[in-house]
């Protein structure tokens, strides 16, 4: 459920009791987690070496836009970078999650979305940064739900990934079978109509929350019924649809947060459970607007894949990633990026302002955006 802008709805949400991010029980580090995390880092690096240049999510499109933070948010939503209204330039990437760059779009799989938000004030984990990284996935629950699960599932994928019947036999012996098999049955639809989720929990100023990105443009909503048909469409149909859409239409998304109120019902350490949106509604804090543009600029695509890294630990301390999957990311993401750059002979560039990004520039302005 999404909360409307009606005063009564906002007042009701403001009066609810939200978990403070430092409350007891928000994070509980299990025994041997550090060993599990290191094992995952070793697994990922081994996969990278065995599958040279095939372990980075496939780019479906990259666009530039503006994140507009509402200036009339209620007090409980005026948290972290959303404390004050304003506009921030962003660069965004649509992707398919599996690392094979030749993956057929007709095969249902989770889809990703990532944003690098510029000119964000506040204390960062890396003090040299002025950008905030935010990443999403089209599935609300994360199958790699904690470090132990991640180690077990990646081990199965390494050993049985090319033998799906055998892999499924192993997955069906697990208590989380449905969670692990869900990725192969996701609704395969137009990326512009796909809702995106953080999956994991984050500090949200004083509180704990998950976030999501909701397509809100009327044209985007209509595209929800446009699903991929394997017998009719080409292997790169999602990229084609995305390029055709951005060439002809502006896009708009709502950035929403879902605050934590009950740690048993809304676990932070285990990301395999969806927080019930009927009991814990989504609340809008900002709007992402993307003007018409070429969503498949080859110079920008190469720059992103060769030099950039999106990492939720590159950003504000008041948006600290929480829970086991995020502690894992803090180790695995930079290790994976470092090895990939080394194998590809590329240097990571710490992008902290839009001027470092190649491709068409965008004229900022509250009247809306226009491509120069």
CATH at residue 119: 2.40.180.10
Q: What is the pLDDT of residue 8?
A: 65
The answer to whether residue 372 sits within a structural domain is no
DSSP 319: G
Average pLDDT of the segment spanning 5-30: 88
Q: 360 near 297, Cβ under 8 Å?
A: yes
* C-alpha distances out from residue 289 to 78, 219, 248, 358, Å: 20, 14, 14, 19
Buried b (16+ CB within 10 A) or exposed e, 67-81: bbbbeebeebbbbbb
**Which three-class secondary structure state does DSSP give residue 187?**
coil
The answer to whether residue 224 sits within a structural domain is yes
The answer to whether residue 173 sits within a structural domain is yes
The answer to whether residue 301 sits within a structural domain is yes
| E strand intervals along 155-307 | 196-197, 202-204, 207-215, 251-259, 283-290
H or E stretch covering 328: helix 324-344
Calpha distance 97→103 (Å, rounded): 10
What tens digit of pLDDT does each residue of 330-346 get? 999 988 888 877 887 88
* C-alpha distances out from residue 32 to 29, 235, 326, Å: 9, 42, 16
**Which three-class secondary structure state does DSSP give residue 213?**
strand
The answer to whether residue 263 sits within a structural domain is yes
Residue 262's closest CA among 241, 276, 249, 245?
A: 276
Q: 241 near 224, Cβ under 8 Å?
A: no
The answer to whether residue 369 sits within a structural domain is no
What tens digit of pLDDT does each residue of 340-368 get? 778 878 898 889 999 999 887 765 444 44
The answer to whether residue 67 sits within a structural domain is yes
Indicate the pTM of the whole model: 0.93
The answer to whether residue 272 sits within a structural domain is yes
Q: 309 near 83, Cβ under 8 Å?
A: no
* C-alpha distances out from residue 126 to 137, 182, 317, Å: 24, 35, 9
Q: 89 near 354, Cβ under 8 Å?
A: yes
Q: What is the pLDDT of residue 5?
A: 57
What tens digit of pLDDT does each residue of 67-117 get? 999 999 999 999 999 999 999 999 999 999 765 555 789 999 999 999 999
Alpha helices in 30-108 (DSSP H): 33-50
As for how many domains the chain has, the answer is 1
pLDDT at 158 over 80: yes
Which domain does 262 fall in, by range? 7-361
Q: 318 near 209, Cβ under 8 Å?
A: no
């Amino acid at each position: 459920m999404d909360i409307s802008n009606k005063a009564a709805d906002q007042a009701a949400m403001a009066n609810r009791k939200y978990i403070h991010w430092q409350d007891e029980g928000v994070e509980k580090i299990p025994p041997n987690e550090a060993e599990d995390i290191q094992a995952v880092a070793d697994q990922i690096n081994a996969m990278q070496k065995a599958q040279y240049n095939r372990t980075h999510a496939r780019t479906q499109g990259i666009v530039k836009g503006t994140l507009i933070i509402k200036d009339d948010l209620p007090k409980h939503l005026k948290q972290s970078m959303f404390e004050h209204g304003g506009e921030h330039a962003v660069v965004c990437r649509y992707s398919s999650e599996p690392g094979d760059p030749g993956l057929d779009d007709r095969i249902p799989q989770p889809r990703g979305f990532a944003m690098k938000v510029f000119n964000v004030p506040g204390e960062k984990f890396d003090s040299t940064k002025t950008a905030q990284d935010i990443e999403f996935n089209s599935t609300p629950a994360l199958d790699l739900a904690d470090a132990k699960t991640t180690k077990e599932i990646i081990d199965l994928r390494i050993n049985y990934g090319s033998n799906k019947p055998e892999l499924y036999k192993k997955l069906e012996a697990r208590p989380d079978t449905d969670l692990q098999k869900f990725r192969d049955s996701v609704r395969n639809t137009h990326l512009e109509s796909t809702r995106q989720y953080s999956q994991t929990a984050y500090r949200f100023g004083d509180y704990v929350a998950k976030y999501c990105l909701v397509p809100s443009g009327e044209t985007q909503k209509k595209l929800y019924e446009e699903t991929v048909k394997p017998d009719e469409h080409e292997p790169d149909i999602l990229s084609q649809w995305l390029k055709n859409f951005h060439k002809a239409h502006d896009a708009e998304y709502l950035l929403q947060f879902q605050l934590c109120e009950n740690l048993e019902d809304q676990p932070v350490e285990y990301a395999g459970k969806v927080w019930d949106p009927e009991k814990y509604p989504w609340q809008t804090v900002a709007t992402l607007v993307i003007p018409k543009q070429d969503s498949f600029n080859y110079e920008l695509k190469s720059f992103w894949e060769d030099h950039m890294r999106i990492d939720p630990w590159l950003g504000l301390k008041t948006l600290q990633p929480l829970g086991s999957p995020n502690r894992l990311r803090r180790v695995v993401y930079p290790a994976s990026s470092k090895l990939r750059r080394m194998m590809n002979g590329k240097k990571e560039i710490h992008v902290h302002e839009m001027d470092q990004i190649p491709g068409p520039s965008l004229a900022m302005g509250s009247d809306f955006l226009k491509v120069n």
